[in-house]
Amino acid sequence: MSDQHLIEKPLTSSSIFKGNFIHVYRDTVELPNGHSAEREYIKHPGAVAVLAIDNENNIIMERQFRHPVNKIVYEIPAGKIDPNEDELTCGRRELVEETGYVAQDWTLLGECLPCIGYSSERIVYFLAENLSFTAVNLDEGEFVEVIKQPLDEVFELAFEGKIEDSKSLAGLMLLYGHLRKRNSIA
Q: Measured between alpha carbons, how far is 13 from 18 in angstroms, rounded to an integer?
A: 14
Beta bridge partners of 108: 126
Ordered by start, the domain boundaries in the chain are 9-43, 47-181
Is 156 annotated in the active site?
Answer: no
Q: What is the pLDDT along the chain (186 residues), one digit of tens a residue?
A: 789 899 999 999 999 999 988 899 999 999 999 999 999 999 999 999 999 999 999 999 999 999 999 999 999 999 999 999 999 999 999 999 999 999 999 999 999 999 999 999 999 999 999 999 998 877 788 789 999 999 999 999 999 999 999 999 999 999 999 999 987 666
Indicate the class that CATH gives domain 47-181. Answer: alpha beta
DSSP state at residue 68: G
Query: Which position among 38, 56, 140, 160 bears the catalytic label?
Result: 140
| Identity of the residue numbered 12 | T
- The structure's pTM equals 0.93
Starting at the edge strand found earlier in the chain, the sheet holding 58-66 runs 71-75, 58-66, 145-150
- DSSP alpha helix (H) spans, the chain: 87-99, 151-159, 166-181
